[in-house]
Amino acid sequence: MVIAQSNTRLSSDRSLDRDCTTLSRHVLGQLKSFGPNAQDLSALMNRIALAGKLIARRLSQSGLVDNALGFTGETNVQGEAVKKMDIYANDVFISVFEQSGLVCRLASEEMEKPYYIPENCPLGRYTLLYDPVDGSSNLDVNLMVGSIFSIRQQEGNDELGDAQDLLQSGHKQIGAGYILYGPSTMLVYSIGRGVHAFTLDPSLGEFILSHENIVIPKHGSIYSVNEGNFCQWDTSMQEYVRYVHRTEGYSARYSGALVSDFHRILFQGGVFLYPGTQSKPSGKLRLLYEAAPLAFLADQAGGRASDGTQPILDVIPDHLHGRTPLIIGSSDDVALVQSFVKS
């Protein structure tokens, strides 16, 4: 029998090292620090991961549990019908951050005003913005949904509670990402040092690093847009889609969940579009909870995101729940769409 020397490591230890990078360890590695800021960000990401695990668990059982699916009968501040799962997921994020000492305020598309956690504020220097369930029309038919998050530094006390400090560009984000509830649950994040994906290992209950430093291909064959709105778009967008139809090598993919369509494009390239329509000139997607966080990821992965005239990260919201047209994905494909807008 071979007994390992005390100063050598068994090969199984080394494979553990290689195969089991957890999210919190990855954040510390990214920041190359064990200082208070790094510890806070690592703990914050860990809490987001916990929210993701709780939501994933609920989703996986939703067909079997009373009152998990369907509408609540309420409409949210966006005027959209609210689903029970929207409320469940919204509350999960609140409950994992209460008593965390990490986040002073949470803002979500399901809440008219930010949710304050006053007891955290002396310490909690961050605001978390989130879309608790993205793609909620997919919920009742067991299709792909996700959660999107964005982390900003808390600026000042916001004594009036009007969240004026959040009406700043997407460059103010210090981190962003999403959780995708698919065949595996995946968490994709960036804290400004590349984009990294983690896959939930249900046997460990941990998100384990599965794809590091993801780079969006410069060009891809996918175009992802709700063509049911074709007659509602302006002519430049119609011209672009006509170009795609007559050009060989394009494939349409559209799932009804931005997170899921973006995820495909992040890995395989292509472009996702949600242009303005006649009835909704700013489109449907929300700048602070959807477009800006995904633009942060696209930028970090070497892709691009635009509202048609300027980079999404430069857009300053006029109110908390403001919307924006979105063109996001491979840099060449976004540039091509923009060239139609300009001409």
Cβ atoms < 10 Å from Cβ of 14: 10
110 lines the binding site for ligand AHG (CB under 6 A):
no
Residues 80-99: x where in contact with ligand AHG by CB under 6 A, - otherwise, as a string: x-------------------
x/- letters, 274..303, toward ligand AHG (CB under 6 A): ----------x-------------------
- Footprint (CB under 6 A) of ligand AHG, residues 207-226: 226
28 makes contact, choosing from ligand AHG, Mn ion, none, with CB < 5 to 8 Å by partner type, with none
Number of residues engaging Mn ion in binding (CB under 5 A): 3
**Closer residue to ligand AHG, CB minimum distance, 133 or 214:** 133
Shortest reach from residue 146's CB to ligand AHG, in Å: 8
Dihedrals phi, psi of 233, to nearest 5 degrees? -85, 165
Contact of residue 311 among ligand AHG, Mn ion, none (CB under 5-8 Å per partner type) = none
261 part of the interface to Mn ion, by CB under 5 A: no
Give yes or no for a contact between 198 and 25, defined as CB atoms under 8 angstroms apart: no
State the minimum distance, in angstroms, from the CB of residue 219 to Mn ion. 26
Q: Which residues contact 178 (CB under 8 A, 6 or more apart)?
A: 134, 146, 147, 148, 149, 187, 188, 259, 262, 263, 293, 294, 297
Give residues 119-148 in contact with Mn ion (rule: CB under 5 A). 131, 133-134
- The interface with Mn ion within residues 45-104 (CB under 5 A) comprises none
Give the angle 28-295-259 at the CA atoms, nearest 5°: 90
Side chain identity at residue 49, one-letter code: A
Contact call for residue 158 and Mn ion (CB under 5 A): no
Residue type, 50: L
Axis-axis angle for helices 292-300, 258-268 (nearest 10): 10
Q: How far is the CB of 1 from ligand AHG (least distance, A)?
A: 58
Residues 29-48 that bind ligand AHG (CB under 6 A): none
Q: For residue 330, which phi and psi values (nearest 5 degrees)?
A: -60, 140
Each residue 250-269 as x (binds ligand AHG by CB under 6 A) or -, in order, gives: ------xxx-----------
Q: How far is the CB of 76 from Mn ion (least distance, A)?
A: 9
Helices (H) and strands (E) in the chain, counts: 8, 15
Taking the alpha carbons of 106, 109, 114, 116 in that order, is the dihedral positive or negative? negative
Helix spans in the chain (H): 11-19, 23-31, 36-60, 84-97, 235-246, 258-268, 292-300, 331-342
Q: Single out the residue of 44, 89, 96, 131 in contact with ligand AHG (rule: CB under 6 A).
A: 131
Closest CB to ligand AHG among residues 26, 84: 84
3-class SS shares of the chain: helix, strand, coil, % to 5: 40, 25, 40
Which of the listed partners (Mn ion, ligand AHG, none) does 256 bind, with a CB threshold of 5 to 8 Å by partner kind?
Answer: ligand AHG
Residues 6+ positions from 227 with CB-CB distance below 8 Å? 241, 252, 254
CB closer to ligand AHG, 82 vs 216: 82
Q: Which two tokens stand for residue 95?
A: 């409950």
- Residue 226 binds which one of Mn ion, ligand AHG, none, with CB within 5 to 8 A depending on kind? ligand AHG
| Shortest spacing between CB 256 and Mn ion, in angstroms | 10
Binding site for Mn ion (CB under 5 A): 131, 133-134
Binding site for ligand AHG (CB under 6 A): 80, 131, 133-136, 226, 256-258, 284
